[in-house]
Amino acid sequence: MTKNKKTAGYLALQQAGELGKRIEQLSTILADCTLCPRRCQVNRPAGELGFCRTGKEAVVASYCPHFGEESCLVGVSGSGTIFFTNCNLGCVFCQNYSISHQGEGIEVDSGQLAAIMLSLQKQGCHNINLVTPSHVVPQIVAALPAAIDKGLTLPLVYNSSGYDTVDTLRLLEGIVDIYMPDFKFWNSESARRFANAPDYPDRAREAISEMHRQVGNLQLDDQGLAVRGLLVRHLVMPGGLAETAEIMHFLAKLSSQTFVNVMEQYRPLYKVNKYPPIDKPLAHAEYAQAVSLACQAGLTRLEQNGLLYLLKKMMPR
């Protein structure tokens, strides 16, 4: 743990004049969009839509203090989540399919997005948690100057599927304080079948490695709140334990201190009735085996079912 809370990185970039340069670079990408691995190359400011079906402005489905996130993000006052509409993946098991696939939400400009961030800070949230941000990175960053001018200081959480490009992530260096990607699949066939993204495993490995390079292992303040670093989620899925084992070994090789949330929340929703073996609920025994695989891989910081478990080797002697 670190004794003191750290200042959000984007404040220093704004003071140095760097944030404006990043906004310009990211905005340029929108005209020939290669933000994510889809690389659709559409002109989004001109109204052209690619895989994510999002144009010039970000679309927000909802925002609120959220208490269902990891304990180190929630604290006592909640994580300030902003749920962005649409997604750059096509997961057949999506639990938020009305948002990610069916497009529920309202377009917001940079001023409105800044106001949302400030509202969450005013409500006492510990961070700004950007949910499904990969396809709206330029819009998020463009909202920061106005928010900073009106007092935004909370750390930014980049809560993504892991389907990100290194090029875009490098433009976020110093802006994002906490990266929280999922690592869904190790096998390209699973990624193709369940998410329409056969290159997902390669892109996720590259992205998570870059995230770790930027922010390192997760750091907590003296209240147990995350202030900087990498937190990886892995949703355990029926029949997926072989992939879970590979993912855990990769994360342990990155660092044995990688903070991992082994998630049991899988439910057979949306289109999964056509996709065995994920057309059934996850058995608790299968989840317990996934946790065991994480431990066997050498990972020492695990969060399970929303409760933090630091393994004995991490505890003071």
Return the CATH number at 216: 3.20.20.70
pLDDT tens-place string over residues 102-120: 989 999 999 999 999 999 9
- 10 is a domain residue: no
Q: Has residue 4 got a pLDDT over 50?
A: no
- 267 is a domain residue: yes
- 14 is a domain residue: no
Around Cβ 314, how many Cβ atoms within 10 Å? 12
- 149 is a domain residue: yes
- Tell me the helices (H) and strands (E) count for the chain, helix number first: 11, 11
- 39 is a domain residue: no
In terms of residue numbers, what domain contains 160? 58-314
Spell out a b/e string for 154-190, using b for 16 or more CB atoms within 10 Å of the CB, else e. Answer: bbbbbbbbbbbbeebbebbebbbbbbbbbbbbbbeeb
Strands (E), 150-249: 156-159, 178-179, 219-220, 226-235
Total structural domains within the chain: 1
Percent of the chain with pLDDT over 70: 94
- 112 is a domain residue: yes
Q: Has residue 314 got a pLDDT over 50?
A: no
Quote the CA–CA distance of 183 and 181 in Å, as a whole number. 6
pLDDT of residue 311: 41
* Confidence band of 232 (pLDDT split at 50, 70, 90): very high
- 133 is a domain residue: yes
pLDDT tens-place string over residues 140-184: 999 999 999 999 999 999 999 999 999 999 999 999 999 999 999
Q: Has residue 2 got a pLDDT over 80?
A: no
pTM: 0.94
- 259 is a domain residue: yes
* Confidence band of 305 (pLDDT split at 50, 70, 90): low
